[in-house]
Chain A
Amino acid sequence: MIEEIHLFGIYMPAALAWGVVSIVLVYLLREPLQRFPIYRLLWHPSLLEVALFVLLWWGLSFLADTFLHSWLAA
């Protein structure tokens, strides 16, 4: 389990790092997603972005814990 990440001597919780990464990813994914008709299916299209952000955040944590960690330990 990766619990903290350090950048230039500052140790921060891994959650913060994955959160920032997922914000950036969602921002980048916004434009391609808007071409899909799924946006017309929702009352509030921005909800999809929020969902995407939460899923990415959790997914990145999960992937980092399962893969990145064993790769680092190897």
Chain B
Amino acid sequence: MLHRQNITRSLATLIVLLVILGGIYALWLRYQVEPVTRDGKVRADMVPIAADVGGLVTEVKVADNQAVARGDVLFVIDRPRYRLALEEAEANVASQEIALAQASREDRRNHAMTEVIAGEQIEQGRARVDELRAKMGQAIAARNLARFNLERTLVRAPVAGVVSNVSLQPGVYLTAGKPALALVYSKSMRVEGYFEETKLPAIRVGDPASIYLMGVADEIQGHVQSIAGGVEDRERMGADGQLANVNPSFTWVRLAQRIPVRISVDKIPPQVRMIPGQTATVVVHPRTDGRSIHRSLPW
């Protein structure tokens, strides 16, 4: 009797142990394997708007966080100065024109009177015309450049988007090439999910994905557009052409690195606003297309 009870006890204990292991396995699948990450970020490409010509900012035509279309004027740089430069260049062209006309007339006269004028002088006159013609070309190029510069004093939006972090005020002196404000390219808005490398085998390009912004209940629909081509090897330092410099590590604990997965947004609920930099939870729904994933178990 006692013997029988022992067997029942052992069996029951074994079953309970198996249930525990099964539950742990299910939890592990649910929280460690399924392609879900809370480390997603809304991202968009940013164009730093810089002036092509230097000078004082005379007018700022956009307010902070304003939506702009492609080609809209964002701010204006010292137009009077560049207009004066254009006038100077135009006057230069006119003066060259006059000099060229005079030299041409002389040249024509010289050619008409070859008996009384030395050949050398005729040659010199000819050369002067050619030289002045070349100078004329220079002056025209300088005028076109001045016109171009004047056009560039109107700094325009290269893409449609939202200007951000605008603190530019009239009177600020901008040197050419120095970024003055940031333009967020709205069309490039996407979500980058940083998935642990252990979750990556389940993700394929084209898989549908759900995105939940922090604190927003509505689901944003998207799909996996691409997976990063590479990430930095953090264990290794040193430039190319040098010997490898690998960090000495004490690897009891190794952490899965994160690989950026680019999710393109297909449908945004009307009341949801996406702002680059926002935190998002990304859930990828692997398609059932008969793929086989050979994933290692916890060991």
Contacts and interface: CB of A to CB of B under 8 A. Distances in A.
Interface of A: 1, 3-4, 6, 11, 13, 15, 38, 41-44, 47-48, 50-51, 54-55, 57-58, 61-62, 72-73
Given A44-B13, A57-B27, A4 B281 contact: yes
Contact of B281 (A3, A15, A44, A54): A3
Contacts of A61: 27, 30-31
20 contacts: A1-B283, A3-B36, A3-B281, A4-B38, A4-B281, A13-B38, A15-B27, A15-B31, A38-B12, A41-B8, A42-B12, A42-B13, A42-B16, A47-B20, A51-B23, A55-B19, A57-B23, A61-B31, A73-B217, A73-B218
Interface string B26-45: 11001100101010000000
Interface in B9-26: 9-10, 12-13, 16-17, 19-20, 23-24, 26
Contacts of A6: 215
A54 B38 contact: no
B19 A43 contact: no
Contact of A58 (B27, B36, B281): B27
B9 A3 contact: no
B38 A58 contact: no
Contacts of A13: 31, 38
B36 A47 contact: no
Interface residues of B, number: 27
Contact of A3 (B17, B23, B38): B38
A55 to B, nearest CB: 5
Interface string B199-216: 000000000001010110
B219 interface: yes
A1 B20 CA distance: 23
A11 B281 CA distance: 11
Contact of B24 (A1, A41, A54): A54
A58 B26 contact: yes
A41 B9 contact: yes
Given A55-B23, A61-B30, A3 B212 contact: yes
A54 B20 contact: yes
Contacts of A11: 38, 214
A13 B27 CA distance: 13
A3 B219 CA distance: 13
A15 B36 CA distance: 13
Given A4-B38, A51-B23, A43 B13 contact: yes
Contacts of A50: 20
B215 to A, nearest CB: 7
A54 B20 CA distance: 6
Nearest to A47: B16
3 shortest A-B CB distances, which residue pairs? A54-B23, A41-B12, A51-B19
Nearest to B29: A58
Contacts of B219: 73
A58 B26 CA distance: 7
Most chain A beta-carbon contacts within 10 A, residue among B212, B214, B283: B212
B218 to A, nearest CB: 8
A38 B218 CA distance: 46
Given A1-B36, A4-B281, A6-B215, A42 B9 contact: yes
Contacts of B34: 1
Contacts of B9: 41-43
